[in-house]
Amino acid sequence: MTSKQLNTHKLWDLKQSPWIDDISKCMIDTGELKRRIYEEGIRGVTTNPSIFDKSISSGNCGYPDEMRKLIEKGLDEVGVYEALSADDVRKAADIMRKLYDESGGDDGFVSWEEDPQWANDEEKSVSEAHRLAKIIDRPNLFVKVPSTTEGASALRRLIRDGVSINMTLIFSLDQYINVAENYLSGLEDRLADGNEIDKVRSVASVFVSRIDTMVDNQLDECSNQDKAAPLKGEIGVAGMKMIYKEYQRLFESERFRALAKHGAKAQRVLWGSTGTKNSNYSDTLYVDSLIAPNTVNTIPIKTIEAFVDHGKAESHTIFDNVPEAEDMLRTLDEIGVSLPDITAKLLEDGLKSFAKSYDDLIETIKKSMVEVGHAS
């Protein structure tokens, strides 16, 4: 363990868990993941097809050798992807098992994503989540499910079944409330069935930087620049402050307190897409500004390094300037920029992007299989 307290350690002192938005066989085999977890204060890992695509297409980390073995077993490209990624996820979960145990089952998770083609299919989302959880067979796995209407309904059933879930691609307040309420309903269902509810966990992953990107584009086209210009780079964080207010309302309610008596844990808000996309803004904007009790921030490696170097971890910044944030959101509506329309489009685009990333990954594996198959 390092003797120096890093900003990532300070986040945990403030009851926020920094997770890392990356994973690869290289990170696992070289000890980098273990070092980041047990020395740098990182407390969890998320994955997605783009991350696996980058790792596998590099041709490094031993993936070609593993791929050759899987080809010899007769697996197709989807089977190869699943086997390679499952191995990484399982090993990452084992590395973090100590942290999971020490945190009482709150941290030390690794997320593994469902095939995005099932985003609007409740039945398939449920069956796939069970299948993926069975493949990994570790208590510190989150299955990632997109937060569509069908995905939220699937969440209720999966929580009832005791499957821990990372609900992803949340952009709007209404989306968040629907997810959180389905989580509560799932806990109530599970308790009514006579099952324990103290071990099942969930996070609600809300994407931040993409909101500012799309809002800023519309603000640039707004005729009232006196009101529009001050809102640039502010709406993403302002919206998250409103979501955290709803989190407090829902998980400080009598409804949740009744569940907490039986050991239930709150569904933590997870800030996602926290790498700054606009170079005019601070490279640690979405970490510095979203420090909140009992939350997670899943952070790209580049942003983690910037935050360790010059970020600020001194207070719960989620509570700063909340009335001003509410005023900004009202002004946004007054000048004709519809945040609900923007977040609906972001969900639509996000689902398409997830599907494309998955398709690109499968194509990368298909090409790699051909190369490996012809290697001597």
Active site residues: 144
Distances, alpha carbon 75 to alpha carbons 78, 83, 137, 297, 355, in Å: 8, 9, 21, 36, 22
- What pairing do the DSSP bridges indicate for beta strands 268-272 and 109-113? unpaired
Cα separation, 187 vs 180, whole angstroms: 11
Tokens of 186: 């799932």
Residue 221 burial (10 A CB sphere; 0-12, 13-18, 19+): exposed
β-partners of residue 19 are: 298
Cα separation, 81 vs 79, whole angstroms: 5
- What pairing do the DSSP bridges indicate for beta strands 109-113 and 141-146? parallel
Cα separation, 140 vs 121, whole angstroms: 25
Tokens of 138: 């570790």
Tally Cβ neighbours within 10 Å of residue 244: 23
Q: What are the start-end ranges of the H helices in the chain?
A: 7-13, 25-29, 32-38, 49-57, 63-72, 77-95, 97-102, 122-136, 149-160, 173-192, 209-220, 225-228, 235-251, 254-260, 285-288, 301-310, 322-334, 339-374
Cα separation, 111 vs 41, whole angstroms: 18
User: What DSSP state is assigned to residue 45?
Assistant: E
